[in-house]
């Protein structure tokens, strides 16, 4: 389905309403719909042990097919041929057509999409220096990094990280690790560890059930050092969507909170982001229970998040974290865990957790009614028949909170989501749409949402053609020279991820596990002001709201 509006033409793909992403399943032929969404994303994960090799032949993006291709995962249904009747005649009265000659060239149909200009070459041909590991600047205040992207000029990957960089011996001598995620390719993941660490114990925290769980376990059979922890998902349509690494070294401990799945397709031609903690040293023996806490109470909140899994497999990791000094952390943890919460527990998770932090640790800004709220994500859930049902009535109230002011201005809200043209022109071509699922059934019920949409631009970091799987939310000044706050997270635009109020606002219901980090100026004392001044921030942070100028988030 396509929708025209003042913000361009938007195509809506088919996927489950409340799922933020779509798990790898056997491909099924699409029926009279644009399958640019959910199936494409999973083709890489489906062939986990034998990744698809994309040839250098011309893109198939503009051709119509009846059955989805296993290699690209997307197709267009031929609706013009699906009519059961022709006006004035029955089907039996129509002359029989001769079978088409396969050598006959099919005439071009004007309504067909033009092919993607890039194809999939960069996806398989990494430059020689792509995997060169290098330490980020040791004085990096913000510790925010983008993923490396193939097919860009080398300068745009300066300061960016690949998964092999994250797991490199340059960051520490790895003893054990935990991988929290949504999609896994176990064989590919194991290969990303350096050879000297490749047999070190790895715990996989996942949300798969039944057949999907069996397939995941089967993937790990060749790797005896890989163990599993299944996250409890007791509420329908919930997912384990958190993306986090816990890395235990001989030298200490580190946390990575990121937006990438552990599949090859997420690490090469998409825009992704991560927060990497400092190397946390071990505390002296006999330290108090409160030792090693940060000004943002990151240690307490991380332990509380891990405890919410109620998983014996995580107990030893909880104990290890208690034994380390996390006092250098300057970000706040914002998580979601499934459940129904009342009283003060309502503010522990989801968007009410974000609201509480913004209420307690920010201050009102003169003219804040002109400071837009910006949300950027890769999936959209059901939000009701009009904006008052959740987006404006609940979520926007959280995002517009600044300090303890009783005033509630109604600033602009900009939602960044790639258009069809953005996807077509992307490095991956149309298959990139598989990482941007939006249920057609849901979209038909909330056409009002499209008035908020703005297209994806990331010129300062060269990533305008690397479709975003990153999720960011922020409050910016009208000229984008300042930020009141900034959040990078796994949470997409959905009630399942952020939670929704129930029972006359006396209960908060959250379906999914999510995790992100919040940057607040008050936690960075050296700033000397109540906002982040974007001109002083590292250029590599530009894609997600820290621009050296405002051009990268140009809203068109």
- Are the CB atoms for 177 and 200 separated by under 8 Å? yes
Whether 198 maps to a domain, the answer reads yes
pLDDT, tens digit (0-9, with 9 covering 90-100), for 293-313:
999 999 999 999 999 999 999
Q: Is residue 64 part of a domain?
A: no
119 found inside a domain:
no
Answer yes or no: is 321 within a domain. yes
377-408 per-position pLDDT tens digit: 999 999 999 999 999 989 999 999 999 876 66
Tell me if residue 241 is catalytic. Answer: yes
Reported as a pLDDT band with limits 50, 70 and 90, residue 133 is low
Region 466-473: mean pLDDT is 98
Q: Count structural domains, the chain.
A: 1
Average pLDDT over the chain reads 80
Give the bridge partners for 271, in sequence order.
468
Residues 434-462 pLDDT 10s = 999 998 888 899 999 999 999 999 999 99
User: Among the listed ranges 59-68, 216-225, 401-410, which one has the minimum average pLDDT value?
Assistant: 59-68
Give 192-207 pLDDT, tens digit per residue.
999 999 999 999 999 9
Q: What is the DSSP letter of 17?
A: S
Residue range of the domain that includes 469: 128-533
Catalytic residue among 7, 118, 241, 465: 241
Going from the C-alpha of 226 to that of each of 177, 200, 306, 533, the distances in angstroms are: 10, 9, 19, 44
Top pLDDT among 160 and 536 is at: 160
Instruction: Report the pLDDT value the prediction gives residue 440, as an integer from 0 to 100.
Output: 84
Least confident of 21-35, 76-90, 437-451, 493-507: 76-90
- Contact between 113 and 61 under an 8 Å Cβ cutoff? The reply is yes
- Tell me what pLDDT residue 103 has: 58
Residues 275-290 have pLDDT tens digits of: 999 999 999 999 999 9
% of the chain residues with pLDDT over 90: 65
CA distance 334 to 320: 21
Give the Cα separation of 496 and 20 in Å (integer): 8
The per-residue pLDDT for 99 is: 59
Task: Provide mean pLDDT across the span 21-40.
Answer: 40
Lowest mean pLDDT among 12-16, 168-172, 323-327, 343-347: 12-16
Q: Does residue 106 fall inside a structural domain?
A: no
Is 191 within any annotated ligand binding site?
A: no
- Separation CA 362–CA 401 (nearest Å): 9
3-state secondary structure at position 258: strand
Confidence of residue 212 (pLDDT cuts 50, 70, 90): very high
Please report the pLDDT score of residue 98 as a whole number.
57
243 is in an annotated binding site: yes
Q: How confident is the model at residue 519 (pLDDT cuts 50, 70, 90)?
A: very high
Average pLDDT over residues 1-15: 44
Highest mean predicted confidence (pLDDT) among 41-45, 246-250, 480-484: 246-250
The catalytic residue among 206, 469, 540, 552 is: 469
Asked whether residue 143 is assigned to any structural domain, the reply reads: yes
Average pLDDT over residues 85-92: 39
Q: The CATH number of the domain where 186 resides is what?
A: 3.30.870.10
Inside any domain, residue 193: yes
More confident residue, 533 or 213: 213
pTM over 0.75: yes
For residue 170, the model assigns a pLDDT of 93
| Residue 55: inside a domain | no
Contact status, residue 1 vs residue 396, Cβ threshold 8 Å: no
Q: What is the DSSP string of 129-174?
A: TTT---PPPTT-SS-EEEBP-TTS-GGGGTT-B-HHHHTSGGG--E
pLDDT at position 78, please?
31
Query: What's the sign of the alpha-carbon dihedral 160, 332, 320, 180?
Result: negative
Residue 416 has pLDDT above 60, yes or no: yes
Q: CA 527, CA 521: separation in Å to the nearest integer?
A: 7
Q: What is the DSSP letter of 34?
A: B
361 is an active site residue:
no
């Amino acid at each position: 389905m396509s929708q025209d509006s003042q913000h361009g033409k938007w195509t809506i793909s088919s996927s489950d309403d409340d799922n933020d992403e779509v798990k790898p399943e056997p491909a099924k032929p699409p029926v009279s719909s644009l399958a640019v969404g959910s199936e494409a994303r999973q083709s890489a994960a489906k062939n986990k042990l034998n990744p698809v090799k994309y040839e250098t032949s011309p893109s198939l993006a503009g051709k119509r097919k009846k059955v989805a291709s296993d290699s690209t995962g997307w197709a267009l249904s031929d609706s013009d041929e699906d009519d059961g009747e022709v006006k004035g005649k029955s089907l039996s009265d129509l002359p029989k057509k001769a079978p088409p000659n396969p050598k006959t060239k099919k005439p071009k149909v004007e309504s067909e999409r033009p092919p993607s200009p890039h194809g999939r070459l960069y996806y398989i041909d990494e430059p020689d220096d792509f995997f060169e590991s290098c330490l980020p600047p040791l004085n990096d205040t913000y510790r925010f990094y983008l993923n490396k992207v193939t097919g860009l000029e080398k300068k745009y990957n300066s300061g960016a990280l690949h998964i092999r960089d994250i797991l490199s011996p340059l960051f520490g001598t790895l003893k054990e690790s935990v991988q929290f995620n949504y999609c896994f390719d176990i064989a590919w993941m194991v290969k990303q560890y350096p050879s000297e660490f490749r047999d070190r114990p790895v715990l996989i925290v996942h949300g798969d059930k039944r057949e999907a769980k069996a397939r995941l376990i089967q993937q790990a059979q060749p790797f005896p050092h890989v163990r599993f922890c299944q996250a409890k998902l007791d509420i329908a349509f919930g997912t384990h969507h958190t993306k986090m690494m816990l890395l235990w070294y001989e030298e200490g401990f580190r946390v990575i909170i990121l937006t990438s799945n552990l599949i090859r397709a997420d690490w090469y031609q998409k825009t992704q982001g991560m927060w990497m903690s400092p190397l946390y040293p071990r505390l002296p023996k006999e330290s108090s229970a409160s030792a090693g806490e940060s000004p943002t109470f990151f240690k307490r909140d991380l332990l509380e998040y891990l405890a919410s899994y109620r998983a014996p497999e995580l107990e030893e990791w909880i104990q290890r974290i208690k034994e380390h000094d996390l006092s250098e952390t300057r970000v706040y943890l914002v998580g979601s865990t499934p459940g129904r919460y009342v009283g003060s527990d309502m503010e522990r998770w989801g968007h009410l957790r974000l609201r509480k932090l913004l209420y307690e640790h920010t201050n009102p800004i003169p003219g804040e009614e002109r400071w837009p709220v910006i949300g950027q994500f890769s999936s959209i859930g059901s939000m009701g028949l009009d904006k008052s049902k959740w987006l404006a009535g609940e979520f926007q109230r959280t995002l517009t909170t600044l300090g303890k002011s009783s005033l509630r201005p109604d600033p602009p809200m900009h939602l960044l989501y790639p258009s069809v043209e953005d996807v077509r022109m992307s490095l991956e071509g149309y298959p990139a749409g598989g990482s941007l699922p939006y249920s057609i059934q849901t979209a038909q019920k909330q056409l009002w949402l499209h008035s908020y949409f703005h297209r994806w631009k990331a010129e300062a970091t060269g990533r305008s053609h690397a479709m975003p799987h990153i999720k960011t939310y922020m409050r910016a000044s009208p000229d984008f020279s300042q930020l009141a706050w900034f959040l990078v997270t796994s949470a997409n635009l959905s009630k399942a991820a952020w939670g929704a109020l129930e029972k006359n606002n006396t209960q908060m219901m959250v379906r999914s596990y999510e995790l992100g980090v919040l940057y607040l100026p008050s936690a960075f004392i050296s700033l000397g002001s109540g906002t982040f001044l974007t001109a002083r921030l590292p250029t590599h942070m530009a894609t997600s709201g820290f621009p050296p100028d405002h051009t990268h988030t140009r809203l068109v």
